[in-house]
Structure 1
Amino acid sequence: MKSAARRRQACRRQQGQALVLGMLLAGVAAVALLRYFAVGQVVAAKARQLHGLDAAAYSAALVQARALNMLSYINRAQVGHQVAMAHLVTLGSWASLGGTEARQLGTGNPPAYLIAMLFGADHGAAYLAASSASGMENLAAIHGSLAGAYAAHDRTVHDVLAAVQDEIVASVPQARLAAARAVLGQHYPESSNFDLSISDDNWEGYVRRYGARQILRPFIVEAANMYKFLGPRNHTASNPWVVQARCPWLRHELRRRGATELDASGRWQSLDTQSFHALRSNKWIGCYYREYPMGWGWIPPDRQASAGVPHVDDPPEDFSAQDFWRWVQQATQWDIVFGDANPLANSRAVAGRPSWPGRGLADYIDVGADGSRGEALRFAVRLQHPGPQGLTVVTHSAAATFFARPDPRQDGRHELPSLFHPYWQARLDSSVPSQSGSERRHE
């Protein structure tokens, strides 16, 4: 009995010791729980910040893509304005041709019935139809509106489009940063101050300005060649019967000549002429062609430009006081036997040329060396933002702007990036690893 009592007393003395251990375990569990809770807060803050930064980086890359696409549309607009200017100078030379042909028709030099008899009723009817263009030879009246429209295109090309391209290129770095900050502002409506920085950026030098003669000029010529109105306007009609026994292989000819060209300085010109070449013969030079100009018109790039065709600067008004062939021998080097031009009509076109001032092709912006090799336009972003538990959460992201056709080329060839097709797109860039971290804030 005494032994049992002693055991009971010993048990009573040991009561409460388990409670101490339990309290210790509860404290450790609470600390662990608080720690895991804090870690969860940091992880959630990191995830939220990384999602927001990815969206901001993508938006900044999208700003770049839109800028490059806008530059592409402007380059294409440059081409469109040049094609329009080519049409205007061609309309100008055609107007002059129609007006001078109406005047020659009115004087009967040559008469319409002769043209119809030698070359057919269609040519005769076409010559008679020139009467509806009477008055168009008045250059001041007809060319005023055309020259004004030409000058307006020239101002748009040089003073508007080129300036807009420069402004776009200069504003892209600031615009993409503003876009990224705007997205972060939507992602963090409770905050307005973001420590955001951009690095590993190859925008500088990715695009550059080129002289128009390097690539733009051939591109414009190719685009103009798609329009038949701007193509060569050359046609020769011959009468069917023998005219001179000395040269039975030669015939009277009706020569229509015309062309629209972009000269070496990047300015348009258009020349249109039509002449009746009557086959003649004499004992001094044998067979030759006597030219009767029917119509002419030339819109030069400037008053001092050379026509680039056989002509003289001051042709006679008529040849009533001298022989045509003798004057040609004395004053020119024309081939009036085997030549195929309208040199006298050319000369009158040159003598009556108007002045349509223009500054030629404007320089344009295209991708530089990096872009021409197919490299994407990349950058990395870093964001520091206050997080839980007094930490500063640091996240990284990266994005790229790249060139990709929506559909493969029909010829199967690979197309390098350029600023003539608006095929620029944006993506997050996995080539720059996305990192995240946290730092204790130092007060």
Structure 2
Amino acid sequence: MTARVRACAPAAQQGQALVLGMLLAGAAMVVLIRYFAVGQVIGAKARQLHALDAAAYSGALIQARALNMLAYINRAHVGHQLAMAHLVTLGSWASLGGAQAGQWAAGNPPAHLIAMLFGPEHGAAYRAAGKASGFGGLSMPQAELARAYGGHDDVVRNVLNTVQDVIVSGLPEARRQAMQAVLARNYPKHAAGPGGFDLQVDDDNWPGYVQRHSGQGELRSLVQAVTRHYGFLGPRNTTASNNWVVDGRCPGLRHQLRRRGTTELDAQGRWQSIDTQSFHALRSNRWIGCYYREYAMGWGWIPSALTQTIGQPHVDDPPADFAAQDFWRWVKEATDWDITSDSANPLANSRAVSSRRRWQGGGLPTYFDVPAGQYGRPLGFAVRLRQPGPDGLTVTARSAAETFFSRPEARSDGRREQDNLFHPYWQARLADPARAAQPAGGQP
């Protein structure tokens, strides 16, 4: 009996390890399932972060393209102003040629006298002006030049200004749409809803990053700097004199052939150009001594505004001729000109004012640039994306990107260039979300 009980005892304990094994297997299964769920969340998080980085970088690229486009527009402003300066100068030259053709045809003064006093090249140039007959006043060449000038001004005001306004006002929406499009490509089956992905932009320093400036700022300085590279737009002032003594009362004075001309921006940024040429014959009498009797040979003044003034000695209504009164007496009674030692062409200036043809122009346009307080500070923003994840969880990711100014190569003068919207050197990069939109060091 006792032996039988002892024989059955080990058999009664068989299978107890199986219970522990099943418990361990269940626990392992729970851990495995949980690990799998955590892996799914981590995978969804990583995918979401990669997609958000791509979206943020695309948003920064949109910013870079917008700022570079503004830079190209500013440069286009300079190009149009340069073209307008050339056109207005061509206009005054055409008027000069047309008037000179009339004076040559009338022999006032005669071409052979100009050649005798100042050399054959001046006489030949005077005779060649006869080919410019009909270039002044309301002639076809003048009308074509005025139309081209107005076309440039129209592009500046109604095209370029409109485009830059649209770029500045529409950048946040364009950036949002670009990021939404990138997310849609990464999640083609995601039900984004009518408002798109749940994407929130934080730490955005776009408001105030660029500012509108009047044309009297850097744009004016740049236009004037560029025009100095073109001799055609520079001062056109030369004086030729004869070689022999004209009058014993003033042995040091000579007959003069004065060519005067200038192209300039007035205080309001509007173009004007004037060109004149006059023969100043040295005369003398007992009342005023030696003086210069001016014979206007050619003249032309093209203003682009009613309020512009010629800025040189002139009268508004000069006599057609001086048959009824001596030149010097009229000058003394009707003007304040100095005809004894002056270097201007006041009579030719007066004829230019009387025959002026105003072209249509509105002056330098407004433009956008980076204010001084933004130098060295990138245009940055941070984004946060919330999406449904595995097991009903909401997965949130955060990224940041910025647009910065950097020259592709160092300046030849070795100086550091400040951020600006005249050079299209804006680039994009990802940034640390914790430091989004914070100041950064200036780019070399």
Comparing 402-411 and 131-140, the one that deviates more: 131-140
Q: C-alpha separation between the residues in 2 aligned to 1:124 and 1:374?
A: 61
Q: Identify which of 283, 288, 306 aligns with 2:309.
A: 306
| Paired residues of 2:137 and 2:357 also in contact (CA < 8 A) | no
1:147-190 deviation per Cα after TM superposition (whole angstroms, max 9, x unaligned): 11111111111111111111111111111000001000111111
Q: How does 1:177-196 map to 2 (within 5 A)?
A: 177-193=176-192, 194-196=197-199
| Paired residues of 1:299 and 1:355 also in contact (CA < 8 A) | yes
Q: C-alpha separation between the residues in 1 aligned to 2:319 and 2:191?
A: 82
Deviation, structure 1 residue 137: 2.3
Q: Which runs of 4+ in 1 moved over 3 A?
A: 5-8
Is 1:342 aligned to 2:341, yes or no? no
Match in the other structure for 1:399: 401
Q: Identify which of 226, 231, 235 aligns with 1:223.
A: 226
Q: C-alpha separation between the residues in 2 aligned to 1:8 and 1:308?
A: 133
Match in the other structure for 1:139: 138
| Paired residues of 1:303 and 1:354 also in contact (CA < 8 A) | no
Match in the other structure for 1:441: none
Q: C-alpha separation between the residues in 2 aligned to 1:55 and 1:129?
A: 68
Match in the other structure for 1:125: 124
Match in the other structure for 1:368: 371
Q: Secondary structure at the match of 2:298?
A: strand
Deviation, structure 1 residue 141: 3.1
Q: Which amino acid aligns with 1:288?
A: Y
| Paired residues of 1:397 and 1:433 also in contact (CA < 8 A) | no
Q: How does 1:349-360 map to 2 (within 5 A)?
A: 349-360=352-363
Match in the other structure for 2:100: 101
Q: Secondary structure at the match of 1:432?
A: helix
| Paired residues of 1:99 and 1:137 also in contact (CA < 8 A) | yes
Question: CA 1:116–1:84 in 2, change beyond 3 Å: closer, same or farther?
Answer: same
Q: Secondary structure at the match of 1:50?
A: helix
Q: Identify which of 331, 336, 349 aligns with 1:333.
A: 336
Gaps of 5+ in 1: 435-443
Q: How does 1:34-433 map to 2 (within 5 A)?
A: 34-193=33-192, 194-371=197-374, 373-430=375-432, 432=434
Q: Secondary structure at the match of 1:135?
A: coil
Match in the other structure for 1:11: 10
Q: Which amino acid aligns with 1:411?
A: D
1:404-431 deviation per Cα after TM superposition (whole angstroms, max 9, x unaligned): 1111111111111111111111111126
Q: Secondary structure at the match of 1:277?
A: strand
Q: Secondary structure at the match of 2:212?
A: strand
Question: CA 1:74–1:192 in 2, change beyond 3 Å: closer, same or farther?
Answer: farther
Deviation, structure 1 residue 62: 0.5
Deviation, structure 1 residue 19: 0.9
1:233-291 deviation per Cα after TM superposition (whole angstroms, max 9, x unaligned): 01111111111111111111111000001001111000000011111112221111111
| Paired residues of 2:398 and 2:433 also in contact (CA < 8 A) | no
Q: C-alpha separation between the residues in 2 aligned to 1:177 and 1:316?
A: 69
| Paired residues of 2:136 and 2:142 also in contact (CA < 8 A) | no
Output the TM-score relative to the length of structure 2.
Answer: 0.94
1:185-240 deviation per Cα after TM superposition (whole angstroms, max 9, x unaligned): 11111114121111111111111211111222222111222211111001111111
| Paired residues of 2:382 and 2:433 also in contact (CA < 8 A) | no
| Paired residues of 1:96 and 1:139 also in contact (CA < 8 A) | no
Comparing 283-292 and 264-273, the one that deviates more: 283-292
Q: C-alpha separation between the residues in 1 aligned to 2:161 and 2:339?
A: 48
Q: Secondary structure at the match of 2:363?
A: coil
Comparing 99-108 and 211-220, the one that deviates more: 211-220
Aligned length: 432
Q: Secondary structure at the match of 1:338?
A: coil
Q: C-alpha separation between the residues in 1 aligned to 2:79 and 2:361?
A: 16
| Paired residues of 1:89 and 1:269 also in contact (CA < 8 A) | yes
Aligned residues: percent identity? 65
| Paired residues of 1:383 and 1:395 also in contact (CA < 8 A) | yes
Q: Which amino acid aligns with 1:32?
A: V
Question: CA 1:282–1:264 in 2, change beyond 3 Å: closer, same or farther?
Answer: same
Q: Which amino acid aligns with 1:168?
A: I
Q: C-alpha separation between the residues in 2 aligned to 1:25 and 1:137?
A: 106
Deviation, structure 1 residue 2: 6.1
Gaps of 5+ in 2: 437-444
1:5-51 deviation per Cα after TM superposition (whole angstroms, max 9, x unaligned): 55432211111111111111111111111111111111111100000
1:277-329 deviation per Cα after TM superposition (whole angstroms, max 9, x unaligned): 11111222111111111100000133443110011111111112211111111
Q: Which amino acid aligns with 2:278?
A: S
Q: Which amino acid aligns with 1:214?
A: G
Q: Secondary structure at the match of 2:416?
A: coil
1:317-364 deviation per Cα after TM superposition (whole angstroms, max 9, x unaligned): 111221111111111111112110011100100010012122112111
Q: C-alpha separation between the residues in 1 aligned to 2:89 and 2:423?
A: 28
Comparing 300-309 and 402-411, the one that deviates more: 300-309
Deviation, structure 1 residue 368: 3.1
